[in-house]
């Protein structure tokens, strides 16, 4: 079943339930449905694979996002050095940065690092299309290493540079989490 921007909440919920996803609350459904509508504005047709990515991104919300992407602007022109300008929210404070790079993704990553200076080393960068067509979402995976700790990040968007920035920030937010997390039931003991 293919959904689109005119699909309603009931069709959306029904299709996700057919794919095995359940919503605990209406608020949870509203968050994912809002993301669906944003994606539907960019893409003509939303496939099951797109819905799976929306759900996987939503299930990762337990991750505390100390660094969030507010805006990103890149410029890439034949014969010119690519540039990136961005605004991040770092611990709820908006910070701007810019950088040049060998390509728009490299420039975006350097602009992020100009703000956060993570000290992490990028070991892997991978892009895969989620569906076919030029309006497909790009699914980006990155892997960082810092102090012997290996962290993966992921992001998806119809714009590959935005997907790349989302993946990078997802990885950095994971890096900022404590290595050992207390088990949720341990506090009850």
Same domain (yes/no): 130, 90: yes
Q: How confident is the model at residue 165 (pLDDT cuts 50, 70, 90)?
A: very high
54 inside domain: yes
Note the pLDDT of residue 176: 86
Report pLDDT digits (tens) over 42-99.
Answer: 777 777 777 777 776 666 555 678 999 999 999 999 999 999 999 999 999 999 999 9
Note whether 141 and 167 are within 8 A (CB): yes
Let me know if residue 160 belongs to a domain.
yes
Burial class (CB in 10 A: 0-12, 13-18, 19+), 62: exposed
pLDDT at 132 over 70: yes
Domain assignment present for residue 181? The answer is no
At residue 115, the pLDDT reads 97
**Shared-domain flag, residues 161 and 77:** yes
Q: Which of these three, 61, 86, 103, is where a domain ends?
A: 61
Q: List phi, psi (to 5°) of 7.
A: -70, 140
What are the residue ranges of helices labelled H in 43-187? 48-59, 104-116, 160-176
* Band (136; pLDDT cuts 50, 70, 90): confident
- pLDDT class of 112 with cuts at 50, 70, 90: very high
Residues forming a β-bridge with 141? 126, 154
CA 172 to CA 119: how far, in whole Å? 10
d(C-alpha 177, C-alpha 152), whole Å: 13
What percent of the chain is predicted at pLDDT more than 70? Answer: 89
- Could you tell me the residue range of the domain that residue 23 belongs to? 9-61
Number of domains forming the structure of the chain: 2
**Any domain includes 187:** no
Cα separation, 66 vs 35, in Å, equals 20
Do 77 and 142 have their domain in common?
Answer: yes
* pLDDT reading at 125 higher than 90: yes
123 and 172 share one domain: yes
Pair 81, 170 in one domain: yes
* Sequence-separated contacts (24+) of 178-181 with Cβ below 8 Å: 179/149
> pLDDT-derived band of residue 183, with 50, 70 and 90 as boundaries?
very low
């Amino acid at each position: 079943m293919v959904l689109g921007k005119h699909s309603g909440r009931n069709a959306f919920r029904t299709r996700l339930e057919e794919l095995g996803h359940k919503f605990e609350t209406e608020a949870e459904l509203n968050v994912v449905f809002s993301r669906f509508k944003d994606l539907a504005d960019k893409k003509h047709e939303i496939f099951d694979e797109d819905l799976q990515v929306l759900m996987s991104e939503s299930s990762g919300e337990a991750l505390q996002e100390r660094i969030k992407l507010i805006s990103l602007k890149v410029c890439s022109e034949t014969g010119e050095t690519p540039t990136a300008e961005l605004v991040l929210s770092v611990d709820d404070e908006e910070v701007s940065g810019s950088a040049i790079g060998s390509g728009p993704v490299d420039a975006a990553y350097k602009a992020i690092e100009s703000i956060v200076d993570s000290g992490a080393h990028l070991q892997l960068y991978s892009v895969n299309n989620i569906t076919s067509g030029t309006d497909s979402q790009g699914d980006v995976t990155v892997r960082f290493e810092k102090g012997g700790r290996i962290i993966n990040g992921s992001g998806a968007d119809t714009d590959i540079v935005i997907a790349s920035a989302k993946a990078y920030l997802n990885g950095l937010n994971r890096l900022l989490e404590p290595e050992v997390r207390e088990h949720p039931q341990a506090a009850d003991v």
